[in-house]
């Protein structure tokens, strides 16, 4: 961005949102006094390794367990094993680690204590195909779901019913041990049964729901997968299941808290905060256009903040995640309006499958693009927001932040 002060302020807002969800800061206050006896720590998600490190720092030595995180998101731990695996499409490393995790929590007693560390991304990382299904089956359905434009709740409904551990099945395996689940939410509404497909939470959705979603988006399943979804064992543990009666769940970080932290920075700097909420969903480009209209009508100085999880229906061959696509659509709709700048990033530091967290927009974004011979509309049509902002030098690259409360967007209006 040409305006260094605007870029610095937008960066401060994003950093405040990420810091509010830093496991070493937000997790310890939710830990009970260290239980007596055997403690097994398991978990999955982009923040799970950092959460495990926070547990070790607070509870000390003598722990055991295994957590799975995304490649590049690992944090060294002394006694809890950290395994890195693929996201958003699962791989063999995730499958092997998930199988070992299932074994680790099996055969426990009432004297054992299981601490589950759950965060966004855990659904793909906890790659445990249901009996009769393969990793290839899981990979195929994940790719189709990611390209479909389905919201995260619907995606995870399907994933739960094809899994050996998601949808409450991990906690059911741990029964009758005591189970405490600490969750960093990355989903609109902070429903713990949706975060990482709720491996420790009773599932209110049904196989019928999953099959309806599959039909709605025209997903193609092999005959043996369709056959499995017709079997009773495809159903997940439901509310009231006795095996989950002793599970306690605590939400340690959520999008709303990160938005509030950014709002404090904005207010301290003399800006009026306009909160569009932490549950924004829909096509990224459509949300970008809608937010542009809000910004154009806003009298500054103000900061318009929002969270949630948008989606991208892939039609082109370009690169870029939902936040970069939102930012490109926003820039096009703003059409160079003076005094308006913006940032859109994923709080985990990775927008989709690229190396950027997201992108920034400035009043001169379109003018600079056209001087370089770039057609913003063509880049958007090709789902190539990454290529567009890379050419301008306006990608936000942070590397893994080791947490995940999903999308963070801020639009600053000065006029």
- pLDDT tens-digit map of 200-234: 999 999 999 999 999 999 999 999 999 999 999 99
State the chain's mean pLDDT as an integer.
Answer: 95
Give the whole-angstrom CA distance, residue 236 versus residue 401.
Answer: 32
Give the whole-angstrom CA distance, residue 137 versus residue 107.
Answer: 29
Q: Which CATH architecture has domain 4-17+256-413?
A: 3-Layer(aba) Sandwich (3.40)
pTM: 0.91
What is the number of other CB atoms lying within 10 angstroms of the CB of residue 407? Answer: 28
pLDDT in the model for residue 33 = 95
pLDDT in the model for residue 4 = 46
pLDDT reading at 2 higher than 90: no
Q: Which CATH architecture has domain 23-253?
A: 3-Layer(aba) Sandwich (3.40)
Edge-to-edge strands of the sheet including 178-184? 81-85, 64-70, 39-44, 113-119, 178-184, 247-253
Q: In which residue ranges of the chain is CATH 3.40.50.10180 found?
A: 23-253
pLDDT tier at 136, thresholds 50, 70, 90:
very high
252-272 per-position pLDDT tens digit: 999 999 999 999 999 999 999
Give the whole-angstrom CA distance, residue 152 versus residue 87.
Answer: 14
Q: In which residue ranges of the chain is CATH 3.40.1480.10 found?
A: 4-17+256-413
In the block, which residue shows the tokens 């806003």?
298
Q: What helix, strand, coil percent values describe the chain, rounded to 5? A: 40, 20, 40
349 upstream amide cis, omega within 30 of 0: no
Rg of the Cα trace of the chain? 21
Q: How far from the centroid of its chain's Cα atoms is residue 86's Cα? A: 14
């Amino acid at each position: 961005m040409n305006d260094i002060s605007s870029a610095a302020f937008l960066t401060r807002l994003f950093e405040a949102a990420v810091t509010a969800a830093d496991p070493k800061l937000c997790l310890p206050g939710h830990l009970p006094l260290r239980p007596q006896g055997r403690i097994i720590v398991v978990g999955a998600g982009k923040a799970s390794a950092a959460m495990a490190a926070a547990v070790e720092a607070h509870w000390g030595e003598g722990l055991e367990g295994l957590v799975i995180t995304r490649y590049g998101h690992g944090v060294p731990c002394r006694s809890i094993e950290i395994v890195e695996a693929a996201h958003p499409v699962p791989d063999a490393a995730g499958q092997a680690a998930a199988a070992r995790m299932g074994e680790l929590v099996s055969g426990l007693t009432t004297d054992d204590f299981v601490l589950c560390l759950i965060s966004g991304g855990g659904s793909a990382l906890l790659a445990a195909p249901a009996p009769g299904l393969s990793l290839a089956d899981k990979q195929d359905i994940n790719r189709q779901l990611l390209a479909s434009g389905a919201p995260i709740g619907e995606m995870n409904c399907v994933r739960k019913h094809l899994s050996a551990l998601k949808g409450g099945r991990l906690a059911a395996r741990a029964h009758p041990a005591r189970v405490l689940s600490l969750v960093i939410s990355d989903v609109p509404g902070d429903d713990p049964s949706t975060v990482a497909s709720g491996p420790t939470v009773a599932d209110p959705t049904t196989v019928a729901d999953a099959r309806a979603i599959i039909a709605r988006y025209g997903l193609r399943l092999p005959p043996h997968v369709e056959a499995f979804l017709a079997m009773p064992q495809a159903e997940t543990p439901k509310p009231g299941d006795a095996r989950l009666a002793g599970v306690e769940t605590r939400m340690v970080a959520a999008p709303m808290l990160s938005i509030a932290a950014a709002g404090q920075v904005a207010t301290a700097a003399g800006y009026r905060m306009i909160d569009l909420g932490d549950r924004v969903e829909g096509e990224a480009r459509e949300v970008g256009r809608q937010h542009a209209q809000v910004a154009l009508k806003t009298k500054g100085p103000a900061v318009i903040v929002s969270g949630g999880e948008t989606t991208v229906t892939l039609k082109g061959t370009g690169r870029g995640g939902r936040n970069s696509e939102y930012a490109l659509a926003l820039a096009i709709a703003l059409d160079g309006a003076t005094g308006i700048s913006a940032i859109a990033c994923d709080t985990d530091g990775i927008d989709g499958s690229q190396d950027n967290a997201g992108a920034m927009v400035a009043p001169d974004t379109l003018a600079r693009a056209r001087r370089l011979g770039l057609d913003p509309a063509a880049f958007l049509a090709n789902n190539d927001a990454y290529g567009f902002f890379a050419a301008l030098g306006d990608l936000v690259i942070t590397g893994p932040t080791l947490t995940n409360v999903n999308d963070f967007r801020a639009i600053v209006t000065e006029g």
